[in-house]
Structure 1
Amino acid sequence: MKLILSTYSDAFASKVNNLYILSEYIAQNKDSDRIKKMGLENEDLIDPRKVFVYEFINQPAGKSMVKEIIGDPTTGFQFDLFTDSALHLYNEALKLRPGQYGIFAHEYRSPVTLKQGCKSADILACKVDEGNKRIISS
């Protein structure tokens, strides 16, 4: 079956990304217990060789550039436009009040990669409110 999906949803793209990573992991490690731990079944897996992701990037004069995003077996697809949009909106919200700014850091470890011995990173988002002398974590 061929299926073409188009979305503006970062949540949907993230779910497809997680299925891609899990499917790659299962194909390499034959770890059926991992599927059950994720609350999924074999039928939920996708064939990573048949998943193609394209990002449409706005250009001047109303044109778009199509960029293929190549998936990585352990980290999946990097959706730069979604990340940039989320960061922009977060920072914009922080500028609504004087004396506030945000700190945002993003790195990722595949949900199927064991923590021990792997390069892992934190996702951090917090708001610094200088006026009230506090840091608010998101």
Structure 2
Amino acid sequence: MVRNADHSQPWLGVLSDPKGLNDGLAVYFTEQIAEAHSRTIGEKPHISLEMLGTLPEYRGQGAGGQHVQLGRELAEKYKMLCIVDASPSSAHLCTKLGSREEDIMTIDLSHWGRRRNIYFQSYGLQAAKFGDLI
């Protein structure tokens, strides 16, 4: 999702509400990610790649990498920062495309009856044409 300079409205993005979504958990999760992004980039305009996923039957065919690469290309085109959040199992896509780890977060899911926490890492994609912005 790309937000305008004052972060008020997305100007590019697709929003969907997946079947079976736990709204309370989704809101909490999104708030935790927003706090991590705020620590990492502050008020700078940015492109945020959030909650990307690939259907199991298409995994291992490059679809995830294409999503991340598109974010990087948009960052270069609009001279903006690009942040992508990755689980430990998908972090390799970020590092493969030249990004660096900016923040690590643990999201406590015990309130929703989950026994395990979710661990996420935020990565800053460096746009090659204009250097390190973070």
Question: Taking structure 1 as the reference length, what is the TM-score of the superposition?
Answer: 0.27
Higher relative contact order (CA 8 A, sep 6+): 2
Question: Taking structure 2 as the reference length, what is the TM-score of the superposition?
Answer: 0.28
